[in-house]
Amino acid sequence: MSKQVETKKLSQNDKLLTGIYKTVLDNSITVIVSKDKLGNEFLEVANCVKDFQTPLFEKVSPEKLKEQINSRLIKKV
């Protein structure tokens, strides 16, 4: 008997959070939907730090992202 593992999918409202944002420090960040090997969906923030061209990716929860938007720390462009 194989064990069925349920994958986590983001809601449509969470997926609407994807896009390009500006921070209060005028840096650009991009929010994307990513999937792991099991098919679980999650949001990631990608930003380039100063002179580095390679973006740094960091997982972010939809709740944390909404909190930053509501606090006006980031704004969608």
Least trusted range by pLDDT, from 8-12, 23-27, 47-51, 62-66: 47-51
- Beta pairing partners, 56: 47
Dihedrals φ, ψ of 60, to 5°? -140, 140
Q: What pLDDT is recorded for position 11? A: 96
Taking 3-state DSSP, the helix, strand and coil percentages for the chain, each rounded to the nearest 5, stand at 15, 35, 45
pTM greater than 0.85 (yes/no): no
- Beta pairing partners, 20: 30
